[in-house]
Amino acid sequence: MNIALLGPQGSGKGTQAEMLVRDMGMTKFETGKFFRESKDPEIRSLIDQGKLVPDETTNKIILDFINENDNGNLLFDGSPRTISQYEVMKKHLQLVIFLKISEKETVRRLSARRQCAVCGQIYNLITAPARCDHNQPVQREDDKPEAIKKRLELFRAQTEPVIEMARQDGLLLEIDGERPIEVIAKDIKERL
């Protein structure tokens, strides 16, 4: 089953994706991570400003991933983010999971998110303590208040319409993302 996992930043997409990959053997494509690790200066600049990479670039990268890994068990963490991306991906998806959290919860979680400067491990000072021994936490540029606000505006403008289209297409599974991690994971697995 090919699944897209959507939600505002800080909704727990990465955590739930890790659990789905582990428990269901899915092949994961994490759009945000792909772009954060990009060496392309234009992409880096957009990410650091909290902006989205243009659809034509994202669509090409996603289609390349699908063509190279189309085993019918793909997980897209954070894609599709726009109607254009959804239209490209729709024929390859069986389900779109939406982790719904409030804006207040988004800001609370992201303000506490850190990444180890040595190994890159992401953790949260509130919900998921550090899982590495380097003790060199840094706050990513896209987790600072100005970038959070821009990213939330983009999510509302560009991704909420995708969620509505997936609902209309009968592909949407909406999950309350403000519950404990294990409860959310159990809910997703039971509903799959």
Asked if the structure places residue 95 within a domain, the reply is yes
CATH number at residue 28: 3.40.50.300
For residue 131, pLDDT beyond 80: no
Asked if the structure places residue 84 within a domain, the reply is yes
Total count of domains within the chain: 1
Give the confidence band of 70 by pLDDT, cuts at 50, 70, 90.
confident
Distance CA 30, CA 109 (A): 19
For residue 52, pLDDT beyond 80: no
For residue 32, pLDDT beyond 90: no
SS3 136: coil
**Percent of the chain residues topping a pLDDT of 90:** 55
Are the CB atoms for 6 and 162 separated by under 8 Å? yes
- Select, from the ranges 6-10, 36-40, 150-154, 173-177, the one with the highest average predicted confidence (pLDDT): 173-177
SS3 52: coil
Asked if the structure places residue 186 within a domain, the reply is yes
Q: Tell me how crowded residue 6 is: count the other CB atoms within 10 A of its CB.
A: 26
Q: Which region holds residue 128: left if phi is over 0, alpha if psi is between -120 and 50, else beta?
A: beta
Asked if the structure places residue 87 within a domain, the reply is yes
pLDDT of residue 130: 67
Domain ranges, residue 43: 3-102+159-191
What is the per-residue pLDDT across 14-26, written as a single tens digit (0 to 9) for each? 899 999 999 999 9
Which ranges constitute the DSSP H helices of 6-99? 13-24, 31-36, 41-48, 55-69, 83-89
Asked if the structure places residue 68 within a domain, the reply is yes
Give the confidence band of 50 by pLDDT, cuts at 50, 70, 90.
low
> What's the predicted TM-score (pTM) here?
0.82
What is the per-residue pLDDT across 90-105, written as a single tens digit (0 to 9) for each? 999 999 999 999 988 8
pLDDT of residue 140: 79
- Select, from the ranges 42-56, 123-137, 162-176, the one with the highest average predicted confidence (pLDDT): 162-176
Contacts of 10 (CB under 8 A, 6+ apart): 101, 105, 106, 107, 108, 109, 110, 113
Distance CA 15, CA 32 (A): 14
Are the CB atoms for 82 and 162 separated by under 8 Å? yes
Asked if the structure places residue 135 within a domain, the reply is no
For residue 126, pLDDT beyond 80: no
Which residues pair with residue 98 across a beta bridge? Answer: 6, 174
Cβ-based burial of 125 (10 A; exposed 0-12, middle 13-18, buried ≥19): middle
Asked if the structure places residue 121 within a domain, the reply is no
For range 64-86, the mean pLDDT: 91
SS3 30: strand
Asked if the structure places residue 168 within a domain, the reply is yes
12-46 b/e with 16+ CB inside 10 Å = b? bbbbbbebbeeeeebbbbbbbebbbebeeeebeeb
